[in-house]
Structure 1
Amino acid sequence: MTRTALTYLLALFYAYAGYRHIVGPAPFLQITPEWVPWPESVILWTGIAEIAGALALVQPWSLRLRQAGGIGLTLYALCVWPANVNHMLMDMASPDGGWGMAYHGPRMVAQPLLIWLALWTGRVTDWPFARRAKG
């Protein structure tokens, strides 16, 4: 029950984030590091990737597709981590201190949790809940 609920919650989170990337890319463009080529296209395709990963997680027909969605969302979260770090560094360097560490600290800590959650809800791993084989 918990895994199913978290699967739908994570899928909803990523589907909404993907929608926001597509219909309102401006905030994402502001935090995209300068070294990223074609930032408008990257933001559009990351939104599409988030929606596709969310759909793959919740479809009921194929375990392999669900696992692919979990792995895809994991890779996505790893790839956007530089933008999140860039956002934190830019924001904290602003004269008013931006949103502060009360916002950015939990966001940085949440990234590994989202990575694990994508793998767990995608049925790629059962860690740390799997039972050890006796032997």
Structure 2
Amino acid sequence: MADAKFPKATFKPDHPFLRTLALSFIVGWFALGGLGHFLFTNAFVAIVPDYVPFARFMVLFTGVCEIGGALCLVIRPEFRRPMGWALMTLTVCVTPANLGMALDANRYPAIGVLGLWLRLAFQPVLVWLIWWSTSAGGKTA
């Protein structure tokens, strides 16, 4: 068995298609999420922690940031790396709102306890996907 030869793996986690797929997911996530800030403003305002001033303004502002970030990833590839860092920062900044929702899950029966905790658990995965698709290894999709 020591002399057995195994075929080389053809799956490459750094394949350009996978990076492009991840980048497409990130663009869709932030474009649709940003649009939600304008379509469901009151629902977003309701989840802003009390210590954040000017809740309505912040919801609309972050919606603009999300849509702008998604557009920038598509139309200005040379800015993907800094925009990736900006979107990672934004994702980290909204984590307290997601944690608050998960801790007070009975206020959000439409999403459900499991959905709220899964969304919170997805935050680090989302940050990693943003990083990987916009700057991992110094490559861009």
What TM-score bracket applies, with the shorter chain setting the length? 0.7 to 0.9
Number of equivalent positions: 120
Q: Return the match for 2:137 from 115, 126, 129.
A: 126
**CA–CA distance in structure 1, aligned partners of residues 99 and 59 of structure 2:** 16
Shift of 1:5: 1.5
Aligned to 2:95: 81
Task: Give the TM-score normalised by the residue count of structure 1.
Answer: 0.81
The percent of aligned pairs where both chains have the same amino acid is: 30
1:22 paired residue number: 38
Deviation of 1:111 (Å): 0.1
- Note the C-alpha offset of 1:89: 1.5
Name whichever of 52-61 and 27-36 sits farther off. 52-61
1:59 to partner: Cα distance: 2.5
Greater mean alpha carbon deviation, residues 50-59 or residues 35-44: 50-59
- Cα distance in 2 for residues equivalent to 1:85 and 1:60: 33
Distance in 2 (alpha carbons) for counterparts of 1:61 and 1:13: 18
Output one character per residue of 1:58-83: Cα deviation in whole Å (capped at 9) or x when no partner: 22541xx1111111110000000011
Gaps of 5+ in 2: 1-16
Q: Helix, strand or coil: the match of 2:52?
A: coil
Q: Which amino acid aligns with 2:134?
A: G
